[in-house]
């Protein structure tokens, strides 16, 4: 069982240490502030002070948010989630925009899709693909460092007139470290100075062997400007996704990752969440990082209100008590008390960690001076 020092217990209850020591003494326990007491004793004291017993460890949190492993027969195919990476100015944004524009459905007013940080398109072959609208290595790295592995496939954009550059190499390393398969999009093929062969040979030096070089990494020549090769690129992604046999269980409590979040003047805290397993529904109670809430509304990438969102679907979530951070994991819980306790526990743990880091720095500075 868990143990806690008297000082820490007092701190968490926001009571004076001396009062806690006194209360322990009255129960026949002699303990100084730095001594540890067991969880049962702590619980007695907490009740004595008229407080509620809340989550006290990571294991407790795990107990609440962990769900049973999905049975194979409950798993259904889900769309792939794609991130576009590559060197600056090689055309990531242009490519994302072009894919989005070419695939907006007829019903959308003026073809303008609301920006929610991710969107879905349908290929000519009928496959649904989810694109994360966050090109850039910083987003990828920060998400991964927060424990969110959101990408199934990386599209590596390399400009045919520039070939492999430092951030191209960085992107290759990110994809390899994450164990995510890559598809090479050789962009700007419309330019007279385009040299796709140089791109392919450059990539060889980084152990990326494309199909044209008899390897197994798909490569497609594209132009974000003319639209050339875009259908082929989408089909290449769909093919890669098929090989991955991506599956999820839509019939369970949702789990997802925050793609982006902000405080909206009119609507309060809003988070774009990529549902990774289960189905998120209006009215669901959830904890997300150090925040919690109850789903007041879900809005899809077309700006429409939806009642629910299944695996690989990005949605805006309204009904948060605060603004979470990109990469935070969302879990649906059964009660609001659970969600709040976990959020509070995490916020407290994060605060302690920062304080400890601060103390360590101070100590280091003192040592340096001495
Ligand atoms: P990012 O930094 O990777 O997001 O690159 P951008 O999408 O901002 O593109 C950088 C520049 O390259 C812009 O001036 C684009 O207009 C241009 N560009 C992007 N794709 C193409 C393309 O396929 N052909 C040509 N000729 N120019 C392109
Ligand atoms: Mg860009």
Q: What pLDDT does 106 receive?
A: 43
Give 73's contacts (C-beta < 8 A, 6+ positions apart). Answer: none
Range scoring the smallest mean pLDDT among 9-13, 284-288, 339-343: 9-13
Q: Is 348 flagged in the annotation as binding? A: no
Q: What is the pLDDT of residue 283?
A: 98
- 191 CB near ligand 1 (under 6 Å): yes
Residue 22 annotated as binding site: no
For ligand 1, pick from 85, 89, 91 the residue to mutate: most ligand atoms within 8 Å of CB.
Answer: 91
156 within ligand 1 shell (Cβ under 6 A): no
Q: Would you say residue 7 has pLDDT above 50?
A: yes
% pLDDT > 90, the chain: 62
Say what the pLDDT of residue 102 is: 67
Helix axes 92-102, 230-244, angle to 10 degrees: 90
For residue 88 and ligand 1, the question of a CB distance below 6 A is answered with yes
CB distance 92 to ligand 1 below 6 Å: yes
User: What's the gap in Å between 128 CA and the centre of ligand 2?
Assistant: 24
Ligand 2 center from residue 100 Cα (angstroms): 15
Q: Does the interface predicted TM-score (ipTM) exceed 0.95?
A: yes
pLDDT tens digit sequence for 125-156: 999 999 987 756 666 777 776 666 889 999 99
Q: Which ligand is nearest to the CA of 87?
A: 1
Query: Cα angle at 271 between 265 and 273, to 5 degrees?
Result: 160
Could you tell me the two tokens for 170? 């960085």
> CA of 106: how far to CAs of 95, 111, 303, in Å?
20, 7, 14
- Locate 204 and state its tokens: 């060889």
Which atom of ligand 1 lies closest to the CA of 88? 2
CA angle 191/197/203 to nearest 5° reads: 115
Mean pLDDT value of segment 23-41: 90
Q: How far apart are CA 155 and CA 121, in angstroms?
A: 15
Stronger pLDDT, 208 or 111, i.e. the higher one: 208
Distance in Å, CA 144 to ligand 2 centroid? 20
Q: Which atom of ligand 1 is nearest to the CA of 226?
A: 23
pLDDT of amino acid 109: 44
Strand partners, 299: 305, 316
Residue 134, annotated ligand binder? yes
The predicted-structure confidence for 298-353, as pLDDT tens digits, reads as follows 999 988 999 999 999 999 999 999 999 988 999 999 999 889 989 998 998 888 88
Q: Give dist(CA 109, CA 206) in Å, integer.
A: 44
SS3 359: helix
Helical packing angle, 336-369 and 58-65, nearest 10°: 150
| Ligand 1 centroid – CA 98 distance (Å) | 11
Q: Are 325 and 258 in contact (CB under 8 A)?
A: yes
Pocket of ligand 1 contains residue 90 by CB under 6 Å = yes
- pLDDT exceeds cutoff 90 at 233: yes
Residue 107's pLDDT band (cuts 50, 70, 90): very low
- Distance between Cα 136 and ligand 2 center (Å): 8
Q: Which two tokens stand for residue 61?
A: 């949190």
Three-state DSSP class for residue 300: coil
């Amino acid at each position: 069982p868990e143990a806690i020092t008297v000082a820490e217990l007092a701190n968490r209850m926001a009571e004076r240490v001396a009062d806690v020591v006194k209360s322990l003494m009255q129960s026949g326990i002699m303990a100084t502030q730095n001594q540890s007491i067991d969880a049962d004793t702590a619980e007695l004291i907490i009740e004595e002070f008229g407080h509620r017993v809340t989550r006290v460890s990571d294991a407790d949190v795990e107990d609440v948010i962990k769900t049973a492993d999905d049975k194979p027969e409950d798993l259904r195919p889900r769309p792939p989630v794609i991130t576009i990476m590559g060197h600056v100015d090689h055309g990531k944004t242009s490519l994302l925009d072009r894919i989005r524009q070419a695939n907006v459905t007829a019903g959308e007013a003026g073809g303008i899709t609301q920006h929610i940080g991710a969107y879905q398109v349908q290929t000519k072959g009928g496959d649904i693909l989810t694109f994360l609208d966050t090109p850039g290595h910083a987003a990828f790295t920060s998400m991964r460092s927060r424990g969110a592995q959101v990408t199934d496939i990386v599209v590596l954009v390399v400009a045919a007139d520039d070939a492999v550059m430092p951030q191209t190499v960085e992107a290759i390393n990110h994809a390899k470290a994450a164990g995510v398969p890559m598809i090479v999009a050789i962009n700007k093929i419309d330019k007279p100075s385009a040299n796709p062969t140089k791109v392919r040979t450059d990539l060889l030096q980084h152990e990326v062997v494309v199909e044209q070089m008899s390897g197994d990494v798909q490569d497609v020549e594209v132009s974000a400007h003319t639209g050339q090769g875009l259908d082929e690129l989408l089909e290449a992604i769909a093919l890669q996704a098929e090989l991955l046999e991506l599956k999820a269980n839509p019939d369970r409590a949702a789990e997802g990752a925050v793609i982006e979040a902000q405080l909206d003047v009119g609507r309060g805290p809003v988070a774009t969440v990529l549902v990774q397993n289960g189905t998120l529904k209006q009215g669901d109670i959830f904890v997300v990082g150090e925040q919690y809430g109850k789903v007041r509304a879900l809005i899809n990438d077309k700006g429409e209100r939806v009642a629910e969102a299944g695996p690989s679907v990005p949605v805006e979530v309204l009904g948060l008590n605060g603004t979470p951070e990109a990469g935070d994991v969302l879990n649906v819980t059964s009660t609001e008390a659970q969600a709040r306790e976990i959020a509070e526990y995490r916020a407290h743990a994060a605060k302690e960690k920062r304080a400890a880091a601060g103390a360590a720095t101070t100590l280091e500075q003192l040592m340096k001076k001495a």
